[in-house]
A and B are shown apart, each in its own frame.
Chain A
């Protein structure tokens, strides 16, 4: 083996095929761009401009009227204001709880449902459809229904808990600083667990049946089969799912905005609702923009991992 290689050691590598210059490649593939041009154009207008505008605004002190001719450059003042305020840390902590707990439970419920639905049985498609309903209905409708379910006087959940003897009196879920955030998390998990379910159901189809059967023949327990065969095959789709859930949860707005408006006493204020309040209710546009820039940075970091997880192996596929 080693001697065989030695014979060829002195033979020079064949010259690498010359890569055509960028210019000629651009010309050669000019018609390809026609296909993507409409998509890119729309994205540029609606994405690139707002990002530029937000970054610029974050360095200015802006009047409440948003009359931009009167804005004054104030360097990093907006950022300093944010990072030194006590509310920043409170809101950040609440955002972390909201994001982590929502993602964890949505993923676990979704995984359980995907596994339970993996076996063929009568009514499976219908059941899958019913479980997907929360994901399909609007967050506005969901927020109103849950607000009604949580209602302090006439809410069904409070009444049910009393009838079942769990509590003596209906719990005031939303007007109580200790329960409000977690009550909203329940709504959020309800709304998005089926997204995790559908992604993981797709992932389960890539687990080779032959491997599972072989493991069973070799006497592996169901748990061992899951842990050593199924789970490794789910790792890439799980990564994408978790990242998407994290991004979605970090960017949540409608549920807290409609159900509590960030209250009581700011106990359900998360980043996005806080940015909205700063910009639109208190007209502190510059500070709001600086928050948005910080959010960009966090999202770009997550986005890097998202794209990496998503395009793993993408370039191995041959093109035309």
Chain B
């Protein structure tokens, strides 16, 4: 029973231990998501039963119709929050890529004074918790006149995403042989052309990975959105759904339907593009 890759994982015993562990882990991972979905298919009455209905006796999509119906007040609010989240996340992502690409390229290729210091400074941003920056940033946003605008969120999210984005992309540029650019330069390309025509296409997977990361970060952010936006037509989903359901008695099936809809864009995006993300992390994390 010896396979080619047996040296990687040991013998049959270890392989079975690995399989059992994975099954256990998959159960642990999926169970809450499954319960989210099952609960969202119940009526409020069916959800409030003990012992719980492990599968709803009368499954219903009413909770979803209510959230997605633009003529109802619940649906109106939900769709507005959804749109706000989408707008903020897309703009953040586009800007993050536009800023991170040249910076990462410079960190990878050039040796300018202060390079190491600046690189550290960028990375250190990741070390600070959002809450610590809340008050000063709130005051800053007031000075800039950005309170209650999506601009305040976009500017803040940009700085969350940038450090990892730059780091991931730098890993990609490090692995693109400099000779490719030099050859292009010899053939008469400017530095800019060499970058755009040679380096950019080769780093597309890195740019995709960076975009996913920025998008997910912005889509899921809660604390700043909770603090910077007080007008409810501006709110993003993570804050918005809280406003919906916890005021009186919590409508658990409605809340679960909302969280499920909120999770769909990021989960789908991630599952479709995960190989880029995994590869980018591999290049960035390991080649050091």
A-side residues, CB < 8 A to B, are 22, 25-26, 29, 32-36, 38-40, 42-43, 45-47, 49-51, 53-54, 57, 66, 109, 112-113, 115-120, 125, 127-134, 136-142, 144-146, 148-149, 151, 153-154, 156, 159, 162-163, 170, 190, 194, 198-199, 201-203, 205-206, 209, 212-213, 215-216, 221-223, 225-226, 236-237, 240, 244, 247, 250-251, 253-254, 258, 272, 275-276, 279-280, 285, 288-289, 292, 295-296, 299-300, 302-303, 306-307, 310-315, 317-320
Contact = CB atoms under 8 A, between A and B. Distances in A.
B274 interface: yes
A289 B133 CA distance: 10
Contacts of A244: 126
Contacts of A159: 50-52
Given A159-B52, A307-B120, A317-B174, A132 B270 contact: yes
Given A36-B118, A43-B122, A50-B133, 4 more contacts: A36-B102, A39-B100, A39-B166, A138-B266
B68 interface: no
B256 A148 contact: yes
B225 to A, nearest CB: 10
B278 A222 contact: no
A118 B52 contact: no
A109 B24 CA distance: 11
B278 A131 contact: no
Interface stretch (B7-15, B59-67, B74-82): B7-15
A112 B17 CA distance: 10
A46 B135 contact: no
Interface of B: 5-11, 14-15, 18-19, 21-22, 25-26, 28-30, 32-33, 35-36, 39, 47-52, 98-100, 102-103, 105-113, 116, 118-137, 139-140, 155-156, 158-159, 162, 166-167, 174, 178, 181, 216, 219-220, 222-223, 227, 238, 241-242, 252, 255-256, 259, 262-263, 266-267, 270-271, 274-275, 278, 281-282, 285-286, 288
A320 B108 CA distance: 9
Contacts of A163: 51
Given A36-B106, A133-B267, A206-B286, A46 B6 contact: no
A41 to B, nearest CB: 9
A127 B30 CA distance: 11
Contacts of A296: 128, 132
Given A38-B99, A119-B15, A236 B288 contact: yes
Nearest to B270: A136
Contact of B25 (A112, A285, A300): A112
A38 B262 CA distance: 32
B174 A247 contact: no
A26 B113 contact: yes
Most chain A beta carbons < 10 A, residue from B19, B22, B109: B22
Nearest to B195: A35
Contact of B139 (A53, A253, A279): A53
Contacts of B36: 141, 145, 148
B9 A222 contact: yes
B155 A35 contact: no
A268 to B, nearest CB: 16
Contacts of A139: 220, 222
A146 B162 CA distance: 30
A131 B219 CA distance: 20
B286 A142 contact: no
B132 A54 contact: yes
A25 to B, nearest CB: 5
Contact of A162 (B11, B51, B133): B51
A21 B129 CA distance: 39
B263 A43 contact: no
B118 A154 contact: no
B220 to A, nearest CB: 4
Nearest to B166: A39
